Amino acid sequence: MIGGRALAAVALLALGGCATANGDPRDPFEGVNRGIYRFNDIFDRALAKPVATAYRDYVHQEIRDRVRNFFSNLADPFIGVNNVLQGKLEDGVLDWARFAFNSTIGLLGIHDVATDMGYEKHNEDFGQTFGRWGAGPGPYLVLPILGSSTVRDGLGTGLDFYADPLGEFRPYRLQYALWGLRFTQARADLLDASRILEEAALDNYVFQRDAYLQRRRSLIYDGRPPREPRQDEEPEKSGAGVNLARAPDVDTIPGNDPHD
């Protein structure tokens, strides 16, 4: 990851990264990141969100469910590959079974019959695989359009795109239409969540960044991350009667934990 980190550092410094106000050690490129974040926000307000809202309001839920299932099914083979790469052979085989059932009985994936049969959907990607192998996240990055990432997850996303079966679709006009549809569907699914996030956050950028970093850490451990060590142990009990030291902590500097 050192190579990746250095590469990203050079690339971002070339873009004119400036020092950050708060100097969060997880986010050394905060200045550039905030710039891209603002750009993404404008893009979202001007295009992505209105299109996704229209999609949700005018396309019947039944059809939206079929569309979601179709793209979800296309992703299952590589979710399986990632599970196998992470040593979770059984989960990987289950993902391929999902793909087999949904592609056939489920009519090219538009019906998620596998979930009804008890094969649960998993969430894996190359970024998580690298994390499982011990790669730390590296500095936080905001990617144009794609949003929150890290050096590790950004490299993972590159591989994800490279491996994506949508890239095989021809003619290209069909392929681009499908990318557009998938993006719209994904954004539509996040409409409620993004509204709640805006309501909850004092600083949307910070709130989203911290949520992303926490979420990725949780995903790498499949929802069971170990409690992070605190840098400084608090006295046993706070005034409120809850042990501060046992609370999850995002302040820990990455690198203290070999997996994060």
Partner 1 sequence: MTKAGLGLVAALVFAAAQAQETPPDVLVKTVTLEVVELIAKDKEIRSGNRNKLIGLINEKVLPHFNFTAMTALAMGQNWNKATPEQKKRLTEEFKTLLVRTYASALAAYSEQKFDFRPLRAKPTDTDVTVNVRVLQPGTQPVPIDYSMEKTASGWKVYDVMVGGVSLVANYRTEFGNAVRESGIDGLIKSLQAKNRTAEGSGK
Cα–Cα distance measured from residue 35 to residue 20, given in angstroms and rounded to the nearest whole number? 12
Under 8 Å between Cβ of 70 and 76 = no
Q: Is 182 in the site for partner 1 (CB under 8 A)?
A: no
- The torsion of the CA quartet 204, 127, 115, 176, rounded to 10 degrees, works out to 80
Shortest Å distance, C-beta 2 to partner 1: 26
Q: Is 199 in the site for partner 1 (CB under 8 A)?
A: yes
Cα–Cα distance measured from residue 47 to residue 55, given in angstroms and rounded to the nearest whole number? 12
Structure tokens that stand for 83 in this block: 């599970």
Q: Is 36 in the site for partner 1 (CB under 8 A)?
A: no
Q: Is 105 in the site for partner 1 (CB under 8 A)?
A: no
Burial of 197 per CB tally in 10 Å (0-12, 13-18, 19+): middle
Q: Is 256 in the site for partner 1 (CB under 8 A)?
A: no
Q: Is 13 in the site for partner 1 (CB under 8 A)?
A: no
Among 11, 54, 89, 189, binds partner 1 (CB under 8 A): 189
Under 8 Å between Cβ of 170 and 164 = no
Q: Is 45 in the site for partner 1 (CB under 8 A)?
A: no
- The half-sphere exposure of 36 on its side-chain side, counting CA atoms within 13 A, is 20
Stretch that binds partner 1, among 2-10, 36-44, 135-143, 246-254 (CB under 8 A): 246-254
User: Which residues are bridge partners to 140 per DSSP?
Assistant: 150
Q: Is 150 in the site for partner 1 (CB under 8 A)?
A: no
Structure tokens that stand for 143 in this block: 């990617």
Q: Is 19 in the site for partner 1 (CB under 8 A)?
A: no
Count of residues that bind partner 1 according to CB under 8 A: 49
Shortest Å distance, C-beta 129 to partner 1: 17
Minimum CB distance to partner 1 smaller for 4 or for 100: 100
Under 8 Å between Cβ of 88 and 106 = no
Among 49, 88, 98, 122, binds partner 1 (CB under 8 A): 122
- Provide the 8-state DSSP code for 234: P
Task: State the residues that interact with partner 1 by CB under 8 A.
Answer: 21-22, 24, 65, 68-69, 72, 112, 115, 120-123, 189, 192-193, 195-196, 199-203, 206-207, 210-211, 214-215, 217-219, 223, 225, 232, 234, 238-244, 246-251
